[in-house]
Amino acid sequence: MWVQRRLRLPAVRRGFHLVTDLLTAELPELEQVKVGTVHFFIQHTSASLSINENADPTVRHDFEKYFNRVAPENAPYFRHTQEGPDDMPAHLKAALLGTSVTIPVSNGQLALGTWQGIYLGEHRNHASRRWVMATLMGQS
C-alpha cells in the first residue's frame, strides 16, 4: 500500500508543538498497515519537524529557549532580514532541526518510543498554517 497526502497544520504561535495526533488523524489508512513506514516532510524553510519528549511540556519550552540563543533575532551579521528580525533565525533553526521525520509503522500505529512525539518547530513570530507531505508505505 502506498498513500501520499498533503496535510495542513493549523497556524500556531512560535515555539515547539506536539503534532503527532494531528498528523495521524489525517492518515486513516495507517490503521491498515501491519508493517511499513511513514514519512512526514514539511514544505517550508522556516519551520521544522523533529521527534522528542512528548510528556513534559518544559522540554518544548527549553527547546525554544535554547534555539533562540543559538540563532538570535537582530544579530548584526544577518543580511537576510527582508521579512523581519525572525527571518534568518527561522531558516537557521529549520536547517538545524530538519524538515522531515521517518517513522516505522507496526500493527496500524506509529512505532514511536514511550516518550516520543512529533514536534512542529514553528520558528516565525507570525506564521501561517503549514503544509506537510505525508507518504505512507507498507503492507496491510
Instruction: Determine the pLDDT at residue 55.
Output: 95
The mean pLDDT value for 48-64 works out to 97
Instruction: Determine the pLDDT at residue 27.
Output: 97
* 8 Å CB contact between 105 and 37: yes
Domain that holds residue 57: 2-139
- 100 burial type by CB count under 10 A (0-12 exposed, 13-18 middle, 19+ buried): middle
How is residue 77 written as a grid cell?
A: 551579521
Residues in Cβ contact with 77 at an 8 Å cutoff, skipping those fewer than 6 apart: none
State the total domains in the chain. Answer: 1
Q: The domain that contains 84 carries what CATH number? A: 2.60.120.460
The mean pLDDT value for 72-95 works out to 95
Chain position carrying cell 516532510: 41
The mean pLDDT value for 92-100 works out to 98
Report pLDDT digits (tens) over 62-82. Answer: 999 999 999 999 999 999 999
